Amino acid sequence: MPVLGKNSVFKIDNQAGALQDISAYVTDVSGVDVPTAMIDTTTFGDSSIEYTAGLKAGNTITVSGNYDSTAHTQFSAYTNSATYTYEYSPAGTTAGLPKLSGEVRVVNYALTSAVADVVKFTLTLQATGDQTWGTN
């Protein structure tokens, strides 16, 4: 059965280290995956390229939405020298539904304004360490 994006929930630590639900400001989350680097192990005499699984790669997660002064206070205080815990629940936070969680560094916080649109924000997050699928 299809799941509507409106049910998604995104949480990230504030500067005090408390997980904050920022879903009320978010309109889009992208880049949520846990890719594994594939290492080329092809040798002389092989007729096809061969690979072995390497390390899980740190994905880049983009969170965007509508500007809010309260959220701006939190987002603009992020630094790239600290890591922040996040949780992404694509189908909502009902018990048993999936969620991805881990640590991220904030790469960028940007605002955009257009005459005929609302002010929008984009948070670019770089995953670091293990990203784990679990359940709520």
Residue 134: pLDDT band by 50, 70, 90 thresholds?
A: very high
Q: What is the pTM of this model?
A: 0.86
Residue 40: pLDDT band by 50, 70, 90 thresholds?
A: very high
CATH number of 5-32+54-135: 2.30.110.20
Strand 19-21: give its sheet, edge to edge: 19-21, 9-13, 84-89, 98-112, 120-135, 60-66, 26-30
Residue 136: pLDDT band by 50, 70, 90 thresholds?
A: very high
- Domain positions in the chain are 5-32+54-135
